[in-house]
Amino acid sequence: MTQDELLVLIYKKDEKAFTHLYDMYSKSLFAVINVLVKNREEAEDVLQDVFVKIWKNIDSYHESKGRFYTWILNIARNTSIDKLRSKNFNNSQKNLSSDNFVHLFDDSNKLVNKIDSIGIQDFVKKLKPKCIQIIDLLFFKGYTQQEASEELEIPLGTVKTHNRNCINDLRNYLKV
């Protein structure tokens, strides 16, 4: 089936067209989505959303504005970006279970263990309370500076300044 034949069937909402659409484009769209999302399960969910959007919004596609593949590729890209920006996705990335980190303690020769064995958190606890909050959010919980700003209800510039000053204080404690 050619793309033009497929488009005619999609406009008519022919159920067979959906299967052909998926067979023709799922691999290439999944590759793009997976590169952006970097999580296979999430990428599969996004791919499903993309095909539903293509199916529901086919009336907004016009050949005069560009190629069909470019149109569906933009839907895939935008849906992936929406997923990355979603609060649930960001929270799932921050709230990883401790099982994900067990392997770090298995090999005592790893640099991570050497850093942990000197008690980085013990040094952080010596900092001012505001520094402890900021370093905890930014480095131990994986927040962005913008998210830390929102969480602490302080301006982004203040977070950046505190972060820089707190890291300098931590360096002084560590003599690095």
104-155 pLDDT, tens digit per residue, is 444 444 444 444 444 566 777 778 888 888 887 876 677 788 888 988 999 9
Alpha-carbon distances of 115 from 104, 109, 111, 119, 121, rounded to whole Å: 11, 11, 6, 7, 10
State the amino acid at position 128 in one-letter form. Answer: K
Q: Determine the Cα–Cα distance for residues 2 and 6; give it in Å rounded to an integer.
A: 6
Residue 39, pLDDT score = 86
Q: Which distant-in-sequence residues (6+ apart) come within 8 Å of 105 by Cβ?
A: 113
Q: Does the CA dihedral 137-141-144-149 come out positive or negative?
A: negative
Report the alpha-carbon distance of residue 7 to residue 46 in Å, rounded: 22
- Write the Ramachandran bin of 40: left for phi over 0, alpha for psi from -120 to 50, otherwise beta: alpha
Contact predicate 104/113, CB 8 Å = yes
pLDDT at 89: 57
Give me the residue label for tokens 């149109």. Answer: 71
Q: Residue ranges of the chain with pLDDT lower than 70?
A: 87-121, 139-140, 176
Give me the pLDDT at residue 50, please.
94
Sequence-distant (≥ 6) Cβ neighbours of residue 84 within 8 angstroms: 36, 37, 90
Question: What pTM was computed for the model?
Answer: 0.50
What is d(CA 128, CA 167) in angstroms, rounded to the nearest whole number?
Answer: 11
